[in-house]
Amino acid sequence: MIIYIEIFGTKIALKNSMTEIIQEIDIEKQIYIIRGIKVMLDKDLAKLYGVKTKALNQSVRRNIKRFPEDFMFLLSRQEILNLSQIVTSSNIKHSPNILAFTEQGVAMLSSVLRSEKAIQVNIAIMRVFIRLKQITSTHKEFNTKLNELERKIKNHDADITNIFEALRKLMSPEIKTSKKIGFISN
């Protein structure tokens, strides 16, 4: 059975069960933009993978060569405080260290965490990242076309006004005044 859902105006076909659809929507809520990059936090990923955050971070530290800075980075204290205002759980601001994983970092986690659940969760997360890219791309294309249209018609207001004035002049009846022909005598 194929189920269709619409997210941000994009219709998506899903062949999965309802619980997996809910999981993908929940994943979408756990993607944040930090430093201008879409990331997921270690605590959210650990919960999705069904492991403790400490265990996930230990696995990452054991394989640290797989996680360069563009795959994963440590949040600053200010970033954690800013994030604690967005995230509903208040205990995040008391966390000493929080790792943020980019899309590539999440993909790399699949080579570190090898359980069956980790594989399924990773596939779901990758689908969400892909869908977000499609939505962003569609939004950019729409915005570009809208700007182009605005630029094309920007000066047309004055032109249209001039056309209407010319049409009104053509449509108004001309008042003919006849001049007397001949000489005027004083």
Domains of the chain (ranges, CATH numbers) = 24-144 (3.10.260)
18-67 pLDDT, tens digit each: 445 445 667 778 888 889 888 989 988 888 888 898 989 999 999 999 99
Confidence of residue 17 (pLDDT cuts 50, 70, 90): very low
- How far is Cα 42 from Cα 99, in angstroms, rounded to an integer? 5
Considering only residues 17 and 54, tell me which one the structure prediction assigns the higher pLDDT: 54
Considering only residues 57 and 2, tell me which one the structure prediction assigns the higher pLDDT: 57
Partners of 33 in beta bridges = 38
Partners of 10 in beta bridges = 7
83-128 pLDDT, tens digit each: 777 665 556 767 778 899 998 898 888 778 777 777 777 788 888 8
Provide the 10 A C-beta neighbour count for residue 106.
24
Query: 31-34 and 10-14 as β-strands: parallel, antiparallel, unpaired?
Result: unpaired
Structure tokens at 97: 């260290």
148-179 pLDDT, tens digit each: 766 776 666 677 777 777 777 777 666 666 66
Asked whether 57 and 99 are in contact (CB, 8 A), the reply is: yes
